Amino acid sequence: MKKKQNLRDIDTRKHSGEHSHDDGHNHSSPEKASKFRTYLPAIFSFVMLIAGIAVDFFDAFPFFTGWIRILWYVVAYIPVGFPVIIEGWKSIKNGDFFTEFLLMSIATLGAFAIGEYPEGVAVMLFYAVGELFQSAAVKKAKGNIKALLDVRPNEALVYRDGDFVSVNPETVEVGEKVQVRVGEKIPLDGKLLSEKASLNTAAITGESKPDTIAKGEKVFAGSINLDGVIEIKTTKEFKDSSIARILDMVQNATARKSKTELFIRKFAKIYTPIVVFLAIALTFLPYFFVDDYVFSDWLYRALIFLVISCPCALVISIPLGYFGGLGAASKNGILFKGASYLDEMTKVNTVVMDKTGTVTKGVFKIKEIKAIDWEESEFMKYLMAIEEQSTHPIAKAILEYKAEGADFEASEVSEVAGKGLKGTVNGKTVLVGNKALMTSHNIEVPAETESIVESIVMVSIDGQFAGYVTIADELKEDAHEAIEQIRKAGISRIIMLSGDKDSITKEVGREMGVDSAMGGLLPEDKLNEVERLQKETGTTVAFIGDGINDAPVLATSDVGMAMGGLGSDVAIETADVIIQTDQPSKIARAIKIGRSTRKIVWQNIALAFGVKIAVMVLGAFGMATMWEAVFADVGVAFLAILNAIRLQKMNWK
C-alpha cells in the first residue's frame, strides 16, 4: 500500500523536479487543514471527557446529573465510538463477527450500561488515538507507486515535416528519428544514428562506468546522454521500451507482495470470541449453579469483565512499541515505511545487495599507477596532458592527480574511435587508451594487464609502452564494517548482484568477503535470482539497492532497502526501508532495531495479558471493581508506554 507522499519530503530533500504544481501555490496549508480534520474527532472527545471528569470530581455544577450527564458523555463518545461501531457492523454483515471493532463496541457500550460513562469514552478514545497514530505513521512513511511515472522521459524531439518537434514519447512510432540533447534521457529504445555517444546507462544496467556507443548500436530508453547532441532511430514503441518494462515489473512485483497483517487484527480473531462467550457464560451459567442467582448482579459482573478485558493496553502498547522502533530507526538515519517491516526484518536470513552506489561511492578514483621506465609524476603529466582534451568521467578521475611542477601541454589531439586518444606532448607522440589502441600501433602490452579487472588506461610514449593507470569505483568507508556487522547480526548468507562487469563485481565481492557475487545482470536477471532465493524453504530475503534498475527487486524482495541520500527516486519510492545516510553499515542496525522492537512488543503483550487475566478472574468472582478495571486498562497501557520509550534510549552502534 503506497500513499501519495515522496519520502524525500520527510528528509527535507525534495528532488528539484518533484511535485511541480502548475499554479505555483504553496499547498502546505490545505494539507495541515486536512490533518487537523483527521484528529478533530479525537480532540473533541478528549476535551469533552476531561471537562466531564473535572465536573464530576469537583462537583462544581449540581445540574450535571441524570440525563444531562449521560448526554454529555454520549456526545463525547460519538466522534470516536460511532466509526468503530459502524466498522463492527460492516464486519458482521461481511460474515466476520469477532473483530476488535465488535469487542470495543460491546465493552464501551457495556461501560455505559453499568453507568461508567467516563470509562466508556476513555477506552474508545484510547483505541481511536492508537489507530490514528498507526495511520499517521503509515501515511508519513509510505511512498506512492505512481511516483514511478515521474522518472519516465516525458518528451521526445521527433523529426517530422522537416523539423524536430516535441511530442509525448507514447506517440512516437517505430522507425522515427529522435534527437536527444546533452543531459536528457533517451525516450525510446532505438539504434544510434550519430557517429558515437557517451551514455549513462546506470538506470537500466547498473553499470557504473558511462558507456560509449558507436553508430548503429542499440540504445535504451532511460539512458542519459552525456556528451553532445545525438540522434537515434526508434526500434520499439514506448510501451515496449526498457524503462516501461522496468516500471511494469515494479508494479507487478508490488501487487504480488504480501504485507504483514498487524498483530492486533489476528489476535482479535481469537481473543474476541473467547471474551464475548465468557461474558455471556458469566451472565447466564451461574443460574444453574447459584442458589441466590440475581440476573442484574451477574450482568453487572459480566459487563465489568468486558470492560477489564477490553484490549486497550494492547491497542496502545503494540503500536507504540512499533512507533518506538520507527522513531529509533529514524534517529539513526533509517526510515521504515510502516510497522510491518520492523517485523519482517526480524525474519531476514539472506541479504542481497547491489554494488554501485550501495557499497561503492559510484565515483571513479585512481586505484593504481604503474609507470615503466618513467618517473610517476612525469608519466602522469604526459597522460594528463592528453586527458585534458577529454570530457569522459575516467579522464576527470585522472585529472584529479596532483603532479609537482609545471603541467605539460598537448597538441594535435585526436580521437581513435572506440580505442582512445592520440596526440603530441613535448614533441613526443602519446597514445592513451585501451589494449586495442596499443595493438593497432604495434605496441607490446605487458601480460600482467590481462589479469586486471578494473578499468585500465594504457599509455605509450614515442612507440614504447610507458605504463598504465587503473580506475575503480571506490568502496564506501563503512563497506567492510557493514559486512562484519551483518554477520554479527546472525545473517547466514550475503550475496552481491550487479549490472556492472562480472569481473569487477566478483573482485569487489572477494574484497568485502561476501558469500557470492554476480555481475553483468539486467534488472530482470536480478529479479529472477531473488525470486529463486525466495523459493528456498525458510529463506527471507532483504535486498539493498539504489538505482532505477533495482526497483523491481526492491519491490519483490521480502524487505527492500534503498539508499536514500544519492539513490534514485524510484528506488526510494519502491523500497520498504530507506537508509537516508547512504551508509551500508546501517543495514545491520536496521536488523537490530527490528529485533529489539519485536522483543519490546512481546514484553508489552505478556504484561497486558498477565495483568488482564488476573483482574478478569477477580472480576468474574465479584472481587474486582472499576478501579481494578481502570488499572488493567490505563495502568498497563502506561507501563507499556514506558517500556516502548526504552527503544529511543538504546545505543544501536
462 is catalytic: no
Q: How far apart are CA 427 and CA 209, in angstroms?
A: 32
Q: Would strands 190-192 and 230-234 be described as parallel, antiparallel, or unpaired?
A: antiparallel
CB 165 within 8 A of CB 193: no
Q: Would strands 559-563 and 541-545 be described as parallel, antiparallel, or unpaired?
A: parallel
> How many other CB atoms are found less than 10 A from the CB of residue 148?
24
Q: How far apart are CA 34 and CA 242, in angstroms?
A: 39
CB 364 within 8 A of CB 400: no
- Partners of 460 in beta bridges: 431, 465
* Alpha-carbon distances of 201 from 186, 222, 223, 465, 499, rounded to whole Å: 10, 7, 5, 32, 10
Tally the residues of the chain: 653
CB 219 within 8 A of CB 240: no
Q: Phi and psi dihedrals of 8, rounded to 5?
A: -65, -30
Cα atoms in the 13 Å half-sphere on the side-chain side of 230: 32
- Partners of 352 in beta bridges: 495, 543
CB 543 within 8 A of CB 530: yes
DSSP states of 227-291 as a string?
Answer: SS-EEEEE-S-GGGSHHHHHHHHHHHHHHHPPPPPPHHHHHHHHHHHHHHHHHHHHHHTHHHH-T
Which residue of the set 189, 211, 343, 354 is catalytic?
A: 354
* Alpha-carbon distances of 362 from 359, 474, 566, rounded to whole Å: 9, 7, 10
Alpha helices for 442-550 (secondary structure H):
479-488, 502-512, 523-534
Q: How far apart are CA 329 and CA 226, in angstroms?
A: 38
CA angle centred on 178, ends 177 and 181, rounded to 5°: 145
One-letter-per-residue 3-state SS of 378-445: HHHHHHHHHHCCCCCHHHHHHCCCCCCCCCCCEEEEEEECCCEEEEEECCEEEEEECHHHHHHCCCCC
Q: Phi and psi dihedrals of 265, rounded to 5?
A: -65, -45
The cell for 92 is 458482521
> How many other CB atoms are found less than 10 A from the CB of residue 294?
11
Give the catalytic positions in this structure: 354
